[in-house]
Amino acid sequence: MEVLARDGFSLPWVKPSPNIATLASATVYPGTCFIEGFATVSEGRGTDHPFEWVGAPWIDGSALARRLNALRLPGVTLGAGAVSARHLAG
């Protein structure tokens, strides 16, 4: 069980959605959920890292990562990879 600790408080993590099972997914959700509006792009639902991964078969992940990393966004590092989605219960 993941435990959140801040300012003297600690609470067990309670997933707000079957697709937001970790604190990492909840953290990046506000920045990646907009991908849902593009029918041909996946925001990682059905993977072990929903909302942490985005992509599509027609996207060159390496080229996209290079271009976005060139922006030098604070705290952001992107890389390319390949995943296959699966059904999540719930």
pLDDT in tens, 55-76: 888 889 999 999 999 999 998 8
Strand partners, 5: 10
Residues 6+ apart with CB under 8 A from 57: none
Instruction: Write the DSSP symbol of residue 38.
Output: S
Find tokens 């953290």 and name the residue.
Answer: 27
In whole angstroms, what is the distance from residue 84 CA to residue 19 CA? 15
What would the pLDDT profile of 27-46 be if each residue is shown by its tens digit?
888 888 888 788 788 888 87
pTM passes above 0.75:
no
Structure tokens at 70: 């060139």
Note the pLDDT of residue 5.
64
Q: What are the φ/ψ torsions at residue 45 (nearest 5 degrees)?
A: -60, 140
